[in-house]
Amino acid sequence: MNIAKMIDHSLLRPELTTGDVRHGCEIAARRQVASVCVRPSDVALATAALTGTGVLVGTVVGFPHGDTLTSVKAGEARQLVEAGADEIDMVLHIGRLRSGDTAYVHDDIAAVVAAAAGRVVKVILENAYLSDEQKVAGCRLAEEAGAHFVKTSTGFAPGGATLADIRLMRAAVSPHVEVKAAGGVRSLDTLLALHDAGATRFGATATEAILDDFAARARGESPAAATATDGGGY
């Protein structure tokens, strides 16, 4: 199991400096994760830092609330692809989903998928604000609109990924649509449990701690020993 290639190393906190972002890209390249997920203004920086490393550049659209105009989301996605983004994590319109305005939610997602021009689009539901019925509806609308992933959370809401939500989301979409867990994925045990429930990609800031723990266990060390010797999460 290649744990590293399941991780999107998250660099989304608003206080991060450009130096912090470059350091995060260095971690991503050294640990050979799937991608970094950076703020929109950092896409060009991350693209330059990661060219030739095999690590993808992801970014966010309509983040973190999802309530910007569809035209703004689509324009943002288009510009980010031009700047070098390989993957787009967009927040659906949470309020419209809660209102039952399925046509709006569908068209909002579809516009970003079209603007992404074939790049991977992950749709963030922000499950902390949704009922199970709304989560299922959001997943199905994302699939109908052409998204490649459904995602639990931004990491900035009151709750993050749960086993129950991953199972629910996995059951709500077809096999070709993948599930990303984000928010609270801070340990290897959490990642493995969520993977068993159906998630295939994980947003994480504690990337190094997770990967060091995995390597230590592969060497036969205990999880406690791994935690004591890791370099901490980014």
**b (16+ CB within 10 A) / e for 40-65:** bebbbbbbebbeeeebbbbbbbbbbe
135 tagged catalytic: no
Among candidate residues 73, 122, 135, 180, the one labeled active-site is 180
5 tagged catalytic: no
Three-state SS for 154?
A: coil
HEC sequence for 159-200: CCCCHHHHHHHHHHCCCCCEEEECCCCCCHHHHHHHHHHCCC
For the CA atoms of 21, 25, 30, 32, the dihedral, rounded to the nearest 10 degrees, stands at: 140
The tokens of 137 are what? 């509806």
Three-state SS for 230?
A: coil
Q: At residue 123, what is the residue type?
A: V
Among candidate residues 42, 151, 212, 213, the one labeled active-site is 151
Among candidate residues 89, 108, 165, 212, the one labeled active-site is 89
151 tagged catalytic: yes
The residues annotated with a catalytic role in the active site are: 89, 151, 180
